[in-house]
Amino acid sequence: MQKDLIAPFKLFVFTVLLSFVNVSYSQASERVVVGNLSNLATKEELRSLFTTYGEVLSVSIAKDRETGKHRGFGVVEMSSKESAEKAISTLNKTNFFDKRILVYQSRTQY
């Protein structure tokens, strides 16, 4: 019973936290959200992972303001919709630092 309540709560918290990520926005780019990130992942390693699928314009990993620890998700801004879609279809539910990451298109407009 308790597990049934945890999943919707995690989704709600993840959605709220995502709204606080500060990412620059340009009309030609496409933002991709990467969830369930390991605390060991860095911006450089995340950039390297996505560069295989196209040009990466920026990478942001959400961190707690007080502790500086990862919040478990990040945003990758890619140069084109095609490269973002290729990265999403290939990387979603794959292992990155021994954690199964969730990769999907950002729905929030800045």
Q: What is the number of structural domains in the chain? A: 1
pTM higher than the cut 0.85: no
Please tell me whether residue 60 adopts helix, strand or coil conformation: strand
Q: What is the pLDDT, as a whole number, of residue 72?
A: 94
Flag whether 110 is in a domain. Answer: no
Identify the pLDDT of residue 95: 97
Residue 88 is part of a domain; what is its CATH number? 3.30.70.330
**Which runs of E-coded beta strand occur in the chain?**
30-35, 56-63, 70-78, 95-96, 99-100, 102-105
Give the three-state DSSP class for 85.
helix
16 within a domain of the structure (yes/no): yes
Give the range of the structural domain holding residue 32, as residue numbers without chain letter: 2-105
Residue 50 lies in a domain: yes
The whole-number pLDDT of residue 48 equals 97
Predicted local confidence at residue 26, as pLDDT = 43
Pick from 71, 54, 70, 58: nearest CA to 31? 58
pLDDT at position 24 is: 43
User: Per residue of the chain (110 residues), what is the pLDDT tens digit?
Assistant: 455 556 555 655 555 555 555 444 445 689 999 999 999 999 999 999 999 999 999 999 999 999 989 899 999 999 999 999 999 999 999 999 999 999 999 986 55
- Residue 96 is encoded by which pair of tokens? 């990155």
Domain annotation covers residue 98: yes
